[in-house]
Structure 1
Amino acid sequence: MRVAVLGTGIMGQGVARSLHREGHEVTAWNRTRERAEPLAADGITVVDTAEEAVAEADVVLLVLFDGDAVLEVLDAAAQAGPASAVWVQASTIGLEATSRVVARADELGVDLIEAMMLGTKKPAADGKLVMLAAGPTALVERVAPVLDAMGAKTVTAGDRVGAGTALKLAANAWIASVTAATAQSIALAEGLGLDPQLFLDAISGGQSDTPYAHVKGASMIAGDYPAQFALDGLRKDIDLMRAAAPGASLDPTLLDALAEVFAAASERGHGGDDIAAVRAGFTAS
């Protein structure tokens, strides 16, 4: 299929390469062209405008930072693409912005689904994401080859665009919680005079174990945080969860605490580092 990838940050670059590797004809655009240019070496077409990218697309994949960016690109490029194209909103933008995007897509006559990407840099590059899809069944089925190229599996959250976003917020709440909890335990072990590896050894193989704790815990112990999922990106998502909490009748106490500890790590210079750098948020200053 001919796929336009709009937005080539960490995730956009990874999925563009996965789509190309699986035989799709990929055209990529990024507001700052230099961030998309490395894709040209892989045989992916890089263009200057979103309008050029979507001109012949069967599928348009939106991998942007926030709702305002999605709306801006939708307004700029919707009329430049074929009427038959399916637009796939894959950006984590929250419930309120998703509602605005759905309304605007309806006004523009755009066929829209969403496919949230659960995973980080390496799964995106390897085509091993978990795709959280939602929207009209026929449209989701039409883009199945694209979703299959991006992910190891697709979970369909519902036939209404917005259900995938809700599931992504729930999943990222778990990621934020388990990452912060791992950091807290490592910080506590270190603070009490122990080798923090002992914490990971203690949970290994038990009912409380999770591979994620070992991946992020190893990074925390090494103090090395190459970005797989940027800390400030997860902070944005936590804010979206907090915004959704009243409508979900959810007490935001834990979300508020997560926001505070991730903010502390960001203020200590780790906003662009991997989320494992939340370890710095547990260091008394």
Structure 2
Amino acid sequence: MTSTSASAIPERPTVAVLGTGIMGSGMARSLLRAGLDVRAWNRTQAKAAPLAADGATVTETAEEAVRGADVIVTMLNDGLSVAAALTAAAPGAQRGQVLLQSSTVGIDATAELAQRAADLGLVYLDAPVAGTKQPAEQGALTVFVSGPSAVRPLVNPVLNAIGQRTVWVGETPGAASRLKLVVNTWVINMVGSIAECLNLAEGLGIDPQSFLDVMKGGPLDSAYLQGKSAAVLSGDLTPSFALSTALKDTRLILAAAERTGVTLDLVAASADRFTRAEEAGHGGEDMIATYYAGRPVEKDDD
């Protein structure tokens, strides 16, 4: 582990990745392609094991993963999971290490995790990402960062490896997470609109492909519309972003809106749809499985 002074900044920092699910494993592989030394840990070790073939050191404990690392990246489901990982890693943590906290955890958890990091002597960067499975695997995420800019030289190789764009939002942790909630609001509303259009087409007896053909190439078309619709029509709902995770993020958005007095009718409706789809067994599928929450209900002729 090196200090963050200019004279001691490593050209290729050692990175500990805590959390190797859909996003974390993709980010770890992007770091490895950039030539960085990566230690990977996941609570369920089987999820981290495949990274060994890509060159990562897969550790049995979070403590082992962070010991001697320059940068610690956390990519887990929620604030409680990140807090638990930090508790597990604490014996191996060293003062001056940078914690790049990339999980979407909301406003309150960000403040709590920043304090926990400070108690461990870690430099906390609030660094959620925009993007799903494919951008994570391609190193093409957008990373929002807020925190002390003094550590930029140390973390830049990490940010450049996982993202095609880094947006520095401010010096205080929390600003990046607030921006991420706004971005996720756009994504959640968009996926709900796609699902409802497909639902209505089905209900009216219209071939959904006709709708997509009309939209294709026009000003309202998008790769997202075409890609998510194709997933539904093909029946391949392999998650690039799981519906249960989208529901978690939707609840974080609604909590943030409530505390500021903002009313988000569309997001509230999306939360209801995600909940129904999850209860119907679609939580582990891609978030476009919200489609199943709105399919036509067969009416009893009696």
Amino acid at match of 1:9: G
Aligned counterparts of 2:94 and 2:48: Cα–Cα separation in 1: 23
Tell me by how many angstroms 1:187 deviates. 1.3
SS in 2 for 1:69: helix
Tell me by how many angstroms 1:134 deviates. 1.1
Amino acid at match of 1:7: G
Tell me by how many angstroms 1:140 deviates. 3.5
Q: Is the 8 A contact 1:17 1:39 kept in 2?
A: yes
**Aligned residue in 2 for 1:95:** 107
SS in 2 for 1:265: helix
Aligned counterparts of 1:247 and 1:155: Cα–Cα separation in 2: 25
Amino acid at match of 1:184: E
Q: Is the 8 A contact 1:132 1:154 kept in 2?
A: yes
1:86 alignment partner, one of 98, 106, 110:
98
Aligned counterparts of 1:74 and 1:268: Cα–Cα separation in 2: 34
TM-score computed with the length of structure 1 as normaliser:
0.96
Amino acid at match of 2:105: I
1:6-85 correspondence to structure 2 within 5 Å: 6-85=18-97
Aligned residue pairs total 285
Could you say which structure has the larger radius of gyration?
2
Runs of 4+ that moved beyond 3 A: none
Instruction: Note the residue ranges of structure 1 that are not aligned, 5 or more in a row.
Output: none
Cα shift readout 1:36-89 (whole Å, capped 9, x = no counterpart): 111111111001111100111010001111111212222332352332311111
**Aligned residue in 2 for 1:105:** 117
Tell me by how many angstroms 1:168 deviates. 1.2
2:237 alignment partner, one of 225, 231, 236:
225
Q: Is the 8 A contact 1:78 1:110 kept in 2?
A: no
Cα shift readout 1:137-177 (whole Å, capped 9, x = no counterpart): 11234201101100111112222111111111111111111
SS in 1 for 2:128: strand
Aligned counterparts of 2:288 and 2:211: Cα–Cα separation in 1: 16
Aligned counterparts of 1:42 and 1:275: Cα–Cα separation in 2: 28
**Aligned residue in 1 for 2:138:** 126
SS in 2 for 1:4: strand
Q: Is the 8 A contact 1:235 1:262 kept in 2?
A: yes
RMSD: 1.3
